[in-house]
Structure 1
């Protein structure tokens, strides 16, 4: 295949003339829209070789950040889109002689109803990410009767002191875990009252002294962002030992239907 016989796909979106003007993607590549007649849908792409972008961790992080900036810029212009993950490529079909653009267009036509339905569902909405943890030291307090003396005057061996310290840590984790479990359902319910949807996520900012309560992506109408903030503020006021991280708004990466990527070739 030739150097530019594939398309790197950033997103699917309602076809809006000029939505990609001046927008650049990975390594400053200029982006363009490919509209598919009869569907009202366009793909945000750049021409590419039929091979994934590969590099060291720092370089991949830079590419992911560039892709995110490009998608966010276009998302803010059109009000809704289906973002792709990193390294989604559609290659030409050498057997049928179809170009990458023809292959992509054929797939969009086949999936038009599903794609347009998802675009309508996500219009005017954004993704927020919330991580809530408990500070274990603040929860368990530091019971003086349960502390270990700093010197050896208690007659305990170093091994015994290590065992007691481990037991205290286990009790602290268990106590914090019980509290976190009790808080989880209530906070989740209150968030769902102001969000359209919620997807659980792995914790990625939790430290060793924290116990996880809830980590989630929220699908929220732009006008309800403040309502999410109010729920989190109320939770913090009721439990000062909570640590809350609230990020966004972003394009709805966690809520875009993954079926849109089944045709794309990760080559």
Structure 2
């Protein structure tokens, strides 16, 4: 039940269990509001037609948020506020990760909101089959990220006053061009290493993962002085997670001029792809893993 002046914010879809209900008892979301489970108001006609004992129970993980901050007009303004976005994204992520520790979870995009609990429940009932199918596909799987960074010290730019001690007759201009060529060749060698590393990672993934999503390389403050040239997400069966991480770590030793990083485990953000929700803003970003 919503409190006056609030909307229903939905973090994820899950399968309700007693263990999860106990965990949610101490879980708080945006604005320190308690998180709660919302079961569907009714079962969709297509779900009712399925065989067996009935449709698989599902629930939204939800919480109240102030309508003044999450109505359509306010959201458009808030999406220009990086501090607000960071807080909401981080809190959304923390709630999803907490649920994932206790039950299967299908993360929803940030700022998925409904006018009230009743409309959220009805939306869950209407989209039950799509959510249930996706949860089945993600069962006993976890997301891991693999990133490749170029070493910032590989192939540094030559100084303007490149030394000429080895060739006394060489002019400063020719020495500079020679150093530039050396730098270019060094960079090419590092990029070849990166290509080989990517191929090695793909071979490992073929043995230990079920799906891959290729994200755009990260830029700016997210990478610091290093250059991120590969930013992939993998869906890994839980019984393969240790082997996958160990194999990546072993492969990384063959590429000393690169930094190969494995992140996770994460809730399967990159593989959730829930049905489009017209109640939420189309350009709402997903919480970053």
Q: For the residues of structure 2 that align with 1:176 and 1:190, how far apart are their CA atoms?
A: 21
Change (3 A) 1:90 1:156: farther
Q: Which blocks of at least 5 consecutive residues in structure 1 are unaligned?
A: 92-99, 142-146
Change (3 A) 1:154 1:250: farther
Deviations 1:112-131 (A, max 9, x none): 21110111111222111111
Aligned equivalent of 2:35, options 25, 31, 34: 31
| Alignment check: 8 A CA contact 2:200 2:251 kept | no
The answer on 1:110 being equivalent to 2:114 is no
2:110 maps to which residue?
86
The answer on 1:46 being equivalent to 2:63 is yes
Q: For the residues of structure 1 that align with 2:98 and 2:13, how far apart are their CA atoms?
A: 14
2:267 maps to which residue?
251
Give the TM-score, by structure 1 length. Answer: 0.78
Q: For the residues of structure 1 that align with 2:226 and 2:144, how far apart are their CA atoms?
A: 25
Q: For the residues of structure 1 that align with 2:95 and 2:5, how far apart are their CA atoms?
A: 23
State the 1:207 CA deviation: 5.5
Deviations 1:184-206 (A, max 9, x none): 22321212310121111233355
| Alignment check: 8 A CA contact 2:37 2:59 kept | yes
1:125 maps to which residue?
141
State the 1:163 CA deviation: 4.8
State the 1:166 CA deviation: 4.0
| Alignment check: 8 A CA contact 1:177 1:211 kept | no
The answer on 1:16 being equivalent to 2:31 is no
State the 1:57 CA deviation: 2.3
The answer on 1:68 being equivalent to 2:93 is yes
1:95 maps to which residue?
none
What secondary structure sits across from 1:193 in the alignment? helix
Q: For the residues of structure 2 that align with 1:121 and 1:227, how far apart are their CA atoms?
A: 21
Give the TM-score, by structure 2 length. Answer: 0.73
State the 1:75 CA deviation: 1.5
Change (3 A) 1:101 1:207: closer
| Alignment check: 8 A CA contact 1:25 1:67 kept | yes
Q: For the residues of structure 2 that align with 1:112 and 1:264, how far apart are their CA atoms?
A: 16
The answer on 1:223 being equivalent to 2:239 is yes
State the 1:209 CA deviation: 5.5
Q: For the residues of structure 1 that align with 2:36 and 2:189, how far apart are their CA atoms?
A: 54
Of residues 56-65 and 188-197 in structure 1, the stretch that sits farther from structure 2 once superposed is 56-65
Q: For the residues of structure 2 that align with 1:208 and 1:131, how far apart are their CA atoms?
A: 15
2:182 maps to which residue?
168
Taking only aligned residues, the RMSD between alpha carbons, in angstroms, comes to: 3.1
Q: Which blocks of at least 5 consecutive residues in structure 2 are unaligned?
A: 44-54, 283-289
The answer on 1:264 being equivalent to 2:279 is yes
| Alignment check: 8 A CA contact 1:136 1:172 kept | no
What secondary structure sits across from 2:102 in the alignment? helix
